[in-house]
Structure 1
Amino acid sequence: MDSSTAKLPIREKIGYGLGDVASNFVFHSVNVLLLFYYTDVFGISAAAAGTLFVVARVWDAINDPLMGAIADRTNTRWGKYRPYLLWLAIPFGICGYLAFANPQLSGDGKLIYAYITYFLLMTIYTAINVPYSALMGVMTPSSVERTSLASYRFVGAFSGQLLIGMAALPLVKKLGAGDMATGFKYTMALFSVVAVVLFMITFATTRERIAPRHEEPGSVSIGKDLLFLCKNRPWVIMVIAAILTLSNAAIRWAVTPHFFKYHVGDDGSTAFWFLDRTSLMMTTGSLAFIAGIFFTGILSRRFGKRNSLIGLTILNALTLLAFYFIPPSAYGTMLVVNAIGCLIAGPTPALVWAIYTDVVEYGEWRFGRSTPGLAFSVATLAQQLGIAIGGGTAGWLLHFYGFQANQQQSESAISGLRILFSLLPGALALLNGIVLLWYPLTDAMVKKIEDELAVRRRDAAPDPV
């Protein structure tokens, strides 16, 4: 498939984007709601929950690269990566439901249950999301089309997050009829079913087009593949950036319900339409984020992917820092500043994942080895490590500042919530922008790599019979 004729049909781009809607119906619910569910509903301490989020990543350090290597070595009539969307959609939905199922257990039993279900969910998430991410790299050889595909993906991702922010807590309230534990259980059952259906649609509507180079079984080990990745400087920089990005996002996600419940004053009553203050903040932020995604192509063409990502990251960091200075009575100002920050940040995920495909192709061009599954799996590991650092930090610092669930908070706890919601995420985002200054691949170099790889692939293709 020549890069000049590698344009994907809209139907396929939409189908691919639905995969991230599916993922976020469960995964974003975990990111935004699980710490709150553990502390205020299930009855686990913030410190214990924070430790759980970090300990789970020890397994991810093994599980993520292993899944990437397995996916790279998978061969079926459906391709290398697509089959996992079919095979694991139902297990993913089941594990998402179990994480919020709220069984009646003792204190120790609840903690054990939380460990088991969270480990299972993260394992299945890796097993389905790593192939899903790698799929983007084999659907088309065109960097421009991959940027477009990434935009569709993250319109899907943040549409899923919009629905979570808009509907999750109101559904918990409605379906639970005042019982939050029952509400969480039924809400996650609904979200899990939707996720399964959407993953099936993604499987049915996408295709793999870039055939792998033929290699003898066992000719290249996983260890050598990892060594090639470690020598890939652009990829290493993006992995560091991923850790910082998701650390700052995870801290903010984890404490958002706490911040509005205990600092701003959100008692769950309707603030607008059927939305409480927390849901309204997440909904308007998600809408702004989705709007921002549509500027991805314009910014990429005008400034290049690298420069756009650096500038947007630093500007978003400033909006996060600004939240520290907004008093709790100025809820309207919070809505505006949050929307501006989300609009600015909107193009960044699409730019990041388009850049990931560029650095994978750089690795193939530089070292003669294409390992999209492994590269994306370690990128996913970096993001999950960032989420673990962020989630763990949020839980530990809530405990450190004296947070007590469902009680009037001390001045120390309120101060801690403000730091966790603004200063700490903003500082991490600013550091991320600084790290990205070392990313070396310009769009001109990416185009050169793309053209040279197209020639290599054409020359390596078997002669038609």
Structure 2
Amino acid sequence: MNVSQKLSVTEKLGYSLGDLAANLIFQTLVTFLAFFYTDVFRIPAATAATIIFVVGLLGAFVFTPVVGLVADRTRTRWGKFRPWVLWTAVPFGVLSLLAFSTPDLGEGGKVTYAFATYTLLVLVYVANNLPYSALSGVLTGSMEQRNSLSSWRFVAVMVAQFIIQVLLLPLVLLFGDGDKAHGFHVVMTLFAVVGTVFFLVTFFTTRERVVPDRQQASSVREDLVDLARNRPWRIMLAVTVLVFVNLALKGGMYIYYFKYYLSGAALTDFLDRIGFERFVTGLDRLLVGMGLDGFHWPQDAPTSTFSLFSALGIIFMIIGIGCSKRLADRFGKRNVFGGALLVSTLFLLAFCFYPPDAIGLVVGSYVCHGFFYGITTPLLWAMIADVADYSEWKNRRRATAIIFSAMLCGLKIGLSIGGALVAGTLAFYGYRADVAVQAPAVVDGIRLAVSVFCSVPFLLAVALLSRYEIDKPMESRIERELDARRLAGEGA
């Protein structure tokens, strides 16, 4: 076997469909779970926040490390990580539907149901997504092929993000005929069926090629000691936390930026000039003509512009992802990641200087930010797979899943910190939800949050990457020496 074997288009596509399936649910949880609990299932907001926070902690500090340790010790005829995608495909779909169902229960029953279904969904999500992520590190020993695989994977992620952030609420209203509970049930049923099928496709189209020495045996303690001594891993863990702090902070603040900072009249004029309202009206007429209910797009200008803003950002992120592999192959992942992250941050900082009526500049800067951030998106996870190779190269023991589990913990920690910073920033500046016009200090705080505050984590990440030692020459050396070891092991 040649562990540097080039992956086929079928295998790359099959693998990427697994991330599309997972992100149909993950993006829905991140973006709409609180809304679903409070506005659809009618759970008190404080109780809903407690459920989300507690289950999030369980996912980060209990489920993720346990699954990582177990997955690294899994032995089947299908490999270590592929079987987990198969085993969790149907439970993931069923629990996704149950978590967004609205059984007729009393208040206490609703809370118990929400906590139980969300806990089980997070457990199955971790049992699916952690081995799925680790699978990228064992499909091939070629770091160049991993760059390509990550690009395919994150195009699929962006497709899922587009569906959720731009189309989910209109689809809920469309399929539910105005009934959000029924609409969520129909949409999540669709997502569950599609996701289950896509996970099965991932299982049947992929093959694990990087197989540890059968005589390798390491204890949990040894795995953890290897992690602690692995400086590239420590750096990538910190970078992962910082990146997701940024994503949660800016993602949570943008809706306030559009609603309270940008001029409503300027937003309406911008939508009129680009023909957006005419497009939505035409789409509505087309659906009615097909015998379907109208396309219930939100009518207020801030929400409509925000949806367009998100859609354009995702489209240009996909374009950036498409450029990522070629740049990384030429200059190395570390250099491209750090450079693109720095440039994307400059476009975020520009938001600090735009007046409320500069809608075109706001959208243009976000498009440019999306393009350069898109370049970095697949590189983060490809670099984590490289860290697993680095650990094997240094220690002669491979522990792929525990490395990925630590990164997923970092992801969850970053999202938790970023989400808390949204609420904390609003509270610090005196935000009041019961007023239509916020105080000038609040508006200024929102402007700073989407520009200066959310740029700080990215700038810190860029500084850390300067100390990340796996550059292009080291990538080639690690790949070459590990390939030789594996071939020698097979010969023996």
Task: Return the TM-score normalized by structure 2.
Answer: 0.85
Which region of structure 1 is more displaced relative to structure 2, 131-140 or 44-53?
A: 44-53
Residue 95 of structure 1, CA deviation: 2.9
Which residue is 1:168 aligned to? 168
Shift in alpha-carbon separation, 1:449–1:290, aligned structure 2, 3 A:
same
Q: Does 1:277 align with 2:305?
A: yes
Which residue is 2:381 aligned to? 353
Which residue is 1:243 aligned to? 241
**Which of residues 229, 232, 244 in structure 1 aligns to 2:230?**
232
Which residue is 2:422 aligned to? 394
Shift in alpha-carbon separation, 1:105–1:273, aligned structure 2, 3 A:
farther
The separation in 2 between residues aligned to 1:113 and 1:395, in whole angstroms, is 26
Which region of structure 1 is more displaced relative to structure 2, 197-206 or 168-177?
A: 168-177
The separation in 1 between residues aligned to 2:250 and 2:107, in whole angstroms, is 27
Instruction: Name which one, 1 or 2, has greater alpha-carbon Rg.
Output: 2
* Match runs of 1:54-133 below 5 Å: 54-59=53-58, 60-103=60-103, 112-133=112-133
The separation in 2 between residues aligned to 1:433 and 1:396, in whole angstroms, is 25
Gaps of 5+ in 1: none
Residue 181 of structure 1, CA deviation: 4.0
Which region of structure 1 is more displaced relative to structure 2, 135-144 or 328-337?
A: 328-337
Residue 129 of structure 1, CA deviation: 0.5
Root-mean-square deviation over aligned CA pairs: 2.8
Shift in alpha-carbon separation, 1:41–1:434, aligned structure 2, 3 A:
farther
Residue 318 of structure 1, CA deviation: 2.1
* Match runs of 1:355-394 below 5 Å: 355-394=383-422
Shift in alpha-carbon separation, 1:88–1:250, aligned structure 2, 3 A:
same
Q: Does 1:436 align with 2:465?
A: yes
Asked if the contact 2:41/2:102 (under 8 Å) is kept, the reply is: yes
Question: Structure 1, residues 192-213: CA drift from partner, whole Å, max 9, x if none?
Answer: 3222221111111111112221
Structure 1: which amino acid aligns with 2:453? L
The separation in 2 between residues aligned to 1:175 and 1:272, in whole angstroms, is 22
* Match runs of 1:201-240 below 5 Å: 201-215=201-215, 219-240=217-238
Asked if the contact 1:40/1:406 (under 8 Å) is kept, the reply is: no
Gaps of 5+ in 2: 281-296, 298-303
Which region of structure 1 is more displaced relative to structure 2, 104-113 or 303-312?
A: 104-113
Name the SS of the counterpart of 1:319 in structure 2.
helix
Shift in alpha-carbon separation, 1:410–1:37, aligned structure 2, 3 A:
farther
Residue 395 of structure 1, CA deviation: 3.9
The separation in 1 between residues aligned to 2:202 and 2:130, in whole angstroms, is 14
Which residue is 2:138 aligned to? 138
Which region of structure 1 is more displaced relative to structure 2, 326-335 or 196-205?
A: 326-335
The separation in 2 between residues aligned to 1:122 and 1:11, in whole angstroms, is 29
Which residue is 1:450 aligned to? 479
Residue 182 of structure 1, CA deviation: 3.7
The separation in 1 between residues aligned to 2:491 and 2:89, in whole angstroms, is 35
Shift in alpha-carbon separation, 1:108–1:341, aligned structure 2, 3 A:
farther
Structure 2: which amino acid aligns with 1:273? F
The separation in 2 between residues aligned to 1:406 and 1:179, in whole angstroms, is 25
Which residue is 1:188 aligned to? 188
Asked if the contact 1:243/1:382 (under 8 Å) is kept, the reply is: yes
Q: Does 1:7 align with 2:6?
A: yes
The separation in 1 between residues aligned to 2:437 and 2:84, in whole angstroms, is 46
Which region of structure 1 is more displaced relative to structure 2, 398-407 or 184-193?
A: 398-407
Structure 2: which amino acid aligns with 1:195? G
Residue 376 of structure 1, CA deviation: 1.0
Number of residue pairs the alignment of both structures matches: 460
Which region of structure 1 is more displaced relative to structure 2, 222-231 or 409-418?
A: 409-418
The separation in 2 between residues aligned to 1:65 and 1:142, in whole angstroms, is 27
Residue 423 of structure 1, CA deviation: 3.3
The separation in 2 between residues aligned to 1:221 and 1:16, in whole angstroms, is 30
Name the SS of the counterpart of 1:346 in structure 2.
helix
The separation in 1 between residues aligned to 2:174 and 2:148, in whole angstroms, is 38
Structure 1: which amino acid aligns with 2:340? L
Residue 137 of structure 1, CA deviation: 1.0
Asked if the contact 1:88/1:128 (under 8 Å) is kept, the reply is: yes
Structure 2: which amino acid aligns with 1:348? T
Q: Which has the higher contact order (CA 8 A, sep 6+)?
A: 1
Shift in alpha-carbon separation, 1:419–1:196, aligned structure 2, 3 A:
farther
Shift in alpha-carbon separation, 1:277–1:39, aligned structure 2, 3 A:
farther
Asked if the contact 1:240/1:382 (under 8 Å) is kept, the reply is: yes
Which region of structure 1 is more displaced relative to structure 2, 59-68 or 255-264?
A: 255-264
Structure 1: which amino acid aligns with 2:242? L
Residue 56 of structure 1, CA deviation: 3.0
The separation in 1 between residues aligned to 2:430 and 2:201, in whole angstroms, is 46
Q: Does 1:331 align with 2:359?
A: yes
Question: Structure 1, residues 313-372: CA drift from partner, whole Å, max 9, x if none?
Answer: 122222223234434443333221111111011121211111111111110010111011
Residue 439 of structure 1, CA deviation: 0.8
Structure 2: which amino acid aligns with 1:456? R
Which region of structure 1 is more displaced relative to structure 2, 363-372 or 100-109?
A: 100-109
Structure 2: which amino acid aligns with 1:132? Y
Which region of structure 1 is more displaced relative to structure 2, 71-80 or 339-348?
A: 71-80
The separation in 2 between residues aligned to 1:284 and 1:34, in whole angstroms, is 24
Residue 61 of structure 1, CA deviation: 1.2
